[in-house]
């Protein structure tokens, strides 16, 4: 008897009946950039994405929830930056104020707070800098890992105090999950989960985000603390295992598109939810190609997001979240 797989692909109904991977807005996390202005401004390198006022961020959260998207992740853009990133952990910092406003107006949505210092330091790195004795030139400085831990822990507690439902440390400092978990527990936030950016690569795909957040390093780069793209599976497993042991509740792979094999590896190796971050450069590539008429945006976005799910992602942070949710709803009504 001849095997004919095409039988089950003959009609849309048959394809839907036998589909193994399903995409739903409940799997999406919508990112929101919040600045300390009363205006909404476009981000040139990320068509369709804006820097929002607090009021506009509240409206974004409300719209996301109405579309079936249960979570937003907040990135703050302060007016004041300094060497220690003090606005990251200020009680009246932009993320803290935005979180309180969203939770007061849209209580049904989950607010995830990106927990890092790079958007708040005047040098653009993820922690305070220190000199390296006996070195000169580009090797004469580094990010002070242990000093950063104290500031990240302080940031996490201030975000939880403001009402954040999830703390998401992204600095890639050694021991950051343990430091944050201990600080949250000591402050009475034992119920707040940690979504760890466990496997985060020093990637060229972050370019548009750094433009959006004003976080491009003024000196050097982040390759001394973010992971080497050619590092392979050993480093990825080590980083993920350390974060899991330190108390991470979920593990993230960032970027997602070029690292689907790593995403799948974490899904198979750890009994924790895995999050894919569909980063700014991946988003902008599709937007630019679609604007030039090279690709069908809708089909490309949904195929890409489905690929993350097939590789093992339980949730996806994506700038396409709103559009994808609308398209999925439209397809369901057909």
- Given the residues 103, 254, 267, 287, the one annotated as active site: 254
Helix segments in 106-259, DSSP class H = 145-162, 176-186, 207-213, 232-246
Question: 28-35 and 195-200 as β-strands: parallel, antiparallel, unpaired?
Answer: unpaired
Measured distance CA(44)–CA(211) in Å, rounded: 9
- Given the residues 103, 200, 267, 287, the one annotated as active site: 200
Q: Identify whether the C-beta of residue 254 lies closer than 8 Å to the C-beta of residue 199.
A: yes
Measured distance CA(143)–CA(202) in Å, rounded: 15
Name beta bridge partners: 253. Answer: 199, 276
104 in the Ramachandran plot: left (φ > 0), alpha (ψ -120 to 50) or beta? Answer: alpha
Q: Identify whether the C-beta of residue 121 lies closer than 8 Å to the C-beta of residue 135.
A: no
Q: Identify whether the C-beta of residue 51 lies closer than 8 Å to the C-beta of residue 41.
A: yes
Q: Is 267 a catalytic residue?
A: no
Q: What does the DSSP 8-state code read for residue 126?
A: S
- DSSP string of 186-217, one letter each residue: HTT-TT--BEEEEEEB--GGGHHHHHHHT---
Neighbours of 303 (CB within 10 A): 11
Measured distance CA(176)–CA(172) in Å, rounded: 7
Nearest to 95 by CA among 43, 168, 144: 168
Q: Is 200 a catalytic residue?
A: yes
Q: Find all residues with CB under 8 Å of 46, minimum gap 6, and list them.
A: 208, 209, 211, 212, 280, 283, 284, 287, 319
How far lies 263's CA from each of 91, 172, 251, 276, in Å?
35, 17, 10, 7
Q: Which are the catalytic amino acids?
A: 200, 254
């Amino acid at each position: 008897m001849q095997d004919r797989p095409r039988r089950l692909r003959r009609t849309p109904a048959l394809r839907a009946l036998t589909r193994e991977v399903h995409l739903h807005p409940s799997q999406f996390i919508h990112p929101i950039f919040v600045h300390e202005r009363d205006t909404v401004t476009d981000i040139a390198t990320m068509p369709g994405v804006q820097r929002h006022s607090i009021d506009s961020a509240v409206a974004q959260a409300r719209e996301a929830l109405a579309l079936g998207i249960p979570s937003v992740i907040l990135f703050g853009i302060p007016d004041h930056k300094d060497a220690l990133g003090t606005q990251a952990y200020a009680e009246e910092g932009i993320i803290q104020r935005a979180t309180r406003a969203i939770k007061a107006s849209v209580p049904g949505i989950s607010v995830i707070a990106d927990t890092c210092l790079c958007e708040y330091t005047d040098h653009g790195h993820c922690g305070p800098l220190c000199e390296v004795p006996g070195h000169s030139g580009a090797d004469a400085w580094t990010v002070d890992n242990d000093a950063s831990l104290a500031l990240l822990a302080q940031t996490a507690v201030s975000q939880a105090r403001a009402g954040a439902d999830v703390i998401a440390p992204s600095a890639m400092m050694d021991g950051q999950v343990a430091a944050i978990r201990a600080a949250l527990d000591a402050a009475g936030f034992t119920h707040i989960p940690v979504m760890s950016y466990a496997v985060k690569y020093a990637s060229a795909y972050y370019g548009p985000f750094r433009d959006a957040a004003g976080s491009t390093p003024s000196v050097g780069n982040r390759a001394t603390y973010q992971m080497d793209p050619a590092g392979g599976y050993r480093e990825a497993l080590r980083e993920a295992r350390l974060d899991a042991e330190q108390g991470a509740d979920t593990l993230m792979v960032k970027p997602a598109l070029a690292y689907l094999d790593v995403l799948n590896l974490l899904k198979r190796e750890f009994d924790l939810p895995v999050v894919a971050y569909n980063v700014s450069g991946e988003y902008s590539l599709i937007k630019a190609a679609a604007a030039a008429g090279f690709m069908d945006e809708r089909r490309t976005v949904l195929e890409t997001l489905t690929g993350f799910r097939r590789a093992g992602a339980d949730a996806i942070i994506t700038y396409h979240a709103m559009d994808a949710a609308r398209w999925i709803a439209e397809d369901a009504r057909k």
